[in-house]
Structure 1
Amino acid sequence: MPTPDSPLLLPVVDEDGAPFWEYAAAGELRVQSCAAPGCGELRFPPRPCCPHCQSFDSEWRAMSGRGRIWSYVLPHPPLLPAYAEQAPYNAVVVELSDAPHIRLVGNVVAGPDARLDSVDPGRLRIGAAVRAVFCRVTPDVTMVRWLLER
């Protein structure tokens, strides 16, 4: 929801997902994984219990930050004024190269601090290679965004 620090939508951080945002603030893309012996399954979104073995033991595994556009949309009409000012922009679903069953939502941008409309929508393609970058949108929130690989 928008805040005084940012007119953009911000994540609601819960106890299970807090480490994801802390790592993002440090410029790292990490995904929760099961820490039970013999399991190690990655899971996203974060949750307290492994859906594979039901263990409550978890750790955060570093990802390469590389992926492919699995899906994307160009929202019309934007719902909030801050987004209307940046239209047309994209919202993408990225499949991680390290964990193809893990998909993250974000935006493809021209640079870490670039506007959401900084990439021509005509350049987006399903399967296009991307890599994660990090944009501090408020003093407390760093978002994962994506750059097109050349």
Structure 2
Amino acid sequence: MTDQNKPMPVPDGDSNIFWQGCKENKLLIQKCSDCSKHIFYPRILCPHCFSEKIEWVESTGKGKVYSYTIARRGGGPAFKDEVPYAVALIQLDEGVRMFSNIINVDVEEVKCDMAVEVVFEDSGEFTLPKFQPAGISK
């Protein structure tokens, strides 16, 4: 069941492919064809070498918690029933970082450097990438 009061992503020309990948349970990130560095968040130029030769590649979906916080009060009425929840900056194995929630674990067990893997959560109109401790079944 989805809560229509929660804020949802607003896809644009740069991120449409990312959101379509999520719908297919694929975590897509960009890679520069000139300098070979991975890129996230989606954009039209490589932030490392300014090349326009950007391609979409599938991430392994694995990484580590770089940093996190535990929300003990909801970020608005739509989140009040979900507290406490963990919001983390995930460093993917490809080197890029992305914000997401850590799920399927007690928030008190979330730690920096904890190995995590992507899981996809259908929220109605969107499929959102979230992360759980590596190696557990959903």
What TM-score does the superposition give when structure 1 sets the normalisation length?
A: 0.81
User: What is the distance in 1 between the residues matched to 2:109 and 2:72?
Assistant: 18
State whether structure 2 residue 120 is matched by structure 1 residue 134: yes
Structure 1 unaligned regions, length at least 5: 111-118
Secondary structure in 1 matching 2:71: coil
For the 8 Å contact 1:6–1:137, the answer to whether it is kept is no
Give the 3 Å change call, closer, same or farther, for CA 120–5 of structure 1 in structure 2: closer
Distance 1:142 1:61, change over 3 A: same
Distance 1:44 1:8 in 2: 24
Report the TM-score, using the length of structure 2 for normalisation. 0.88
Counterpart among 66, 81, 85 of residue 77 in structure 2: 81
Alignment of 1:115-130 (within 5 A): 119-130=105-116
> Could you tell me how far apart the structure 1 residues matched to 2:30 and 2:19 are?
12
Unaligned runs of 5+ in 2: none
1:76, distance to aligned residue in structure 2 (A): 4.1
Q: Report the equivalent of 1:56.
A: 52
Paired positions, count: 134
CA RMSD of aligned residues (A): 1.7
DSSP-derived class of the 1:83 partner: helix
Deviations 1:46-98, CA, capped at 9 Å, x for gaps: 1111123322222111111111011111124323112111111111111001x
- Mapped partners of 1:31, 1:55: distance in 2: 16
Q: Percent identity?
A: 29
